[in-house]
Amino acid sequence: ETGVTQSPTHLIKTRGQQVTLRCSSQSGHNTVSWYQQALGQGPQFIFQYYREEENGRGNFPPRFSGLQFPNYSSELNVNALELDDSALYLCASSLGASGANVLTFGAGSRLTVL
């Protein structure tokens, strides 16, 4: 049974560029949640995808968007990057969208915006 895989692990972008981060969910999981973790802070919920549909969104602007594919892997896209977007982006998969499901986290994608 594979865990959650995120790619890339590290990347550097400049302001105004666009980025796509990828997440392969754990086998058997149908839900992926994305979180942003700034340095020294706790993770902040971006959005969740359940069975290919967005299932809730945190306080992030529309330039943060996502997708979930039929195999339940997911992408996070961020347009018009800003310096404050520099953070660790974590995805977590679970079986079911309830907050009472065990989460499996990926190692994260560390984004630096210059």
Binding site for other proteins (CB under 8 A): 33, 35, 37, 41-45, 48, 55-59, 88, 90, 92, 97-108, 110
Tokens describing residue 76? 């996070």
Nearest approach in angstroms of CB 41 to other proteins is: 7
Nearest approach in angstroms of CB 110 to other proteins is: 7
Nearest approach in angstroms of CB 43 to other proteins is: 5
SS3 74: strand
Identify which of residues 16 and 102 has a Cβ nearer to other proteins in the complex: 102
Provide the β-strand partners of residue 110. 10, 88
Nearest approach in angstroms of CB 96 to other proteins is: 9
Identify which of residues 70 and 99 has a Cβ nearer to other proteins in the complex: 99
Distances from the Cα of 97 to the Cα of 18, 47, 52, 82, angstroms? 28, 11, 12, 30
User: Which distant-in-sequence residues (6+ apart) come within 8 Å of 99 by Cβ?
Assistant: none
Identify which of residues 12 and 16 has a Cβ nearer to other proteins in the complex: 12
Q: Which amino acid is at 48?
A: Q
Identify which of residues 15 and 34 has a Cβ nearer to other proteins in the complex: 34
Tokens 């190692």 locate to 107
